[in-house]
Structure 1
Amino acid sequence: MASACNSGQAVHDCESLTGRKNDGPGADGGIDVDSSTAVAQVKQTRAQVGRPDVQRLYGVACSLNNVALFFSANGYSLDARAWADRYGVELHESDHRLAKFR
């Protein structure tokens, strides 16, 4: 896994929610964490996550018949939030002061 925070708290929190991590393709080319019931992506970027990233995760989750969980260090665009609400993608944001996700 080559996520920007692949050894940090975000992945640990994802793993505790989903059950295991994915050591598959990196460079943000895929799912960071997966289990039999959920897939998750973790982004630690300076920009907010946009709708296209949320849609891609949702597409993977649907193909596996799993729940989609997205973790972002800098939040989500309004368009991404609206799309996630409509399609049931769970969005989680980092609390920079505590370095934890909620």
Structure 2
Amino acid sequence: MALEEQWRRVEEEQIDLDKIGSGRFSDLQLPLPNRRGELVSVAFHFRPGNVLNSSSGGTGTLMVQISGFFEILTTHHSGPSKVFHLKEFDAPLTLRAKFLNRS
């Protein structure tokens, strides 16, 4: 979190940066800031055993590398809010190879 606005958002939304930085945020809903002011969130649902790598360069920026194959579902909730659910699945070897060898 490098900007005051980002820290304010973390505090307002009660975002657990330690949980994200440790890679243990499966099923956690994370708000997606947007210019329209819509109430939109994302929730990653990782396969058991998936290890996420995170890093921070001392600038306040927290990065988590996320890769895999995901099914995307959208749920709508009371009020004008929606959540994008990204559910990781174990892709067949042929699909993974095709994806890695794309040009």
**TM-score interval for Structure 1 and Structure 2 normalised by the shorter chain:** under 0.3
TM-score computed with the length of structure 1 as normaliser: 0.28
Question: In proportion to residue count, which structure has more helix?
Answer: 1
> Which has the higher Rg, Structure 1 or Structure 2?
2
TM-score computed with the length of structure 2 as normaliser: 0.28
